[in-house]
Amino acid sequence: MATTPSKLAAGAPFPDIRIAQVGGGQLDPASGEGWRLLVVYRGKHCPLCETYLDTLNDLRDEFDAAGVSVMAASADPLDKAQAQVSAQDLAYPVGYDLSVAQMHQLGLYVSEPRSPKETDRPFAEPGLFLLKPDSKLQIIDVSNAPFARPDLASLLKGVKYIIENDYPVRGTLD
């Protein structure tokens, strides 16, 4: 039987997880400063992720101008993550070796590879997390398929609105 991921609560603190970072160091989204956007992608094997990461790269300066630092992470091993960063010339921090336990802690769906050609380990389906300066979750978007993800240009517009208007966290009524 599959393990059910825990559901993160809107407005709750982001889990205290650290993810190894390509180039050294660690991603530590919960301890960062300012607004932060973490995009979890499936891995180098996913052509839709490549397009999504390119779009995020194209919009990075606009996110920066809005006061939002961006980062991405996957379960890929270092060699695949490094290859992804190099091939796409990604200009934001990228984490690797996201564990299944961390995926579950983030409330992500986890898939097994369909074949060895895809990848050699379980991987996270897409997730996106916008953290406020106090490290609480403003936006949580989790999908169980590579085809359903937020449009990053629309998200950027929304994030600007949230910041400029002190828009409250939504979805907090139990």
Q: What is the pLDDT of residues 30-55, one digit of tens each?
A: 998 999 999 999 999 999 999 999 99
**Span 141-145, average pLDDT:** 94
**Span 127-132, average pLDDT:** 98
Region 19-165: CATH code: 3.40.30.10
Nearest to 123 by CA among 94, 96, 151: 96
CB count within 10 Å of CB 45 equals: 18
Average pLDDT, the chain: 94
pLDDT tier at 13 (50, 70, 90 boundaries)? Answer: very high
CA dihedral 46, 17, 173, 166 (to 10 degrees): -90
pLDDT at 1: 45
Residues in a beta bridge with 72: 39, 94
Q: Rounded distance, CA 134 to CA 85, Å?
A: 29
With contact defined as beta carbons under 8 Å apart, do 125 and 112 qualify? no
pLDDT at 32: 83
